[in-house]
Amino acid sequence: MKDPRQVILKPVVSEKSYALLESNQYTFIVHPTASKPEISDAVASIFGVTVTRVNTLNRQGKKTRNRRTGKVGSKASTKRAIVTLADGDSIDLFES
């Protein structure tokens, strides 16, 4: 089993992720090879909450182009996890 801090990399701070907080869902950027059970166990051990559901999505990195040279590159691809917590549980990290 992986270290929980290596599975959960950082929380996602966006308008959409803050809108999901009302339905007790939290969004994290996770390691690209992390599975749903690993993500669930990592969130439960780090924050001490009960996880009821984990949804994952892979976001492809956007293509970028240098203005001066015209070289094409890309931003990094990320894997995100939307974690639903049990009723009554919350993560204080987002509510400060």
Average pLDDT rounded to a whole number, residues 79-94: 91
Would you state the structure tokens that stand for residue 39, as one six-digit string?
């993500």
pTM of the predicted protein model: 0.87
Domains of the chain: 4-63+73-86 (3.30.70.330)
Q: What is the pLDDT of residues 16-67, one digit of tens each?
A: 999 999 999 999 999 999 999 999 999 999 999 999 999 999 999 999 999 9
Q: What integer pLDDT is reported at residue 2 of this predicted model?
A: 79
Q: What integer pLDDT is reported at residue 96 of this predicted model?
A: 53
Residue 1: pLDDT over 60: no
User: Of 56, 53, 55, 74, which is closest to residue 64 (Cα–Cα)?
Assistant: 74
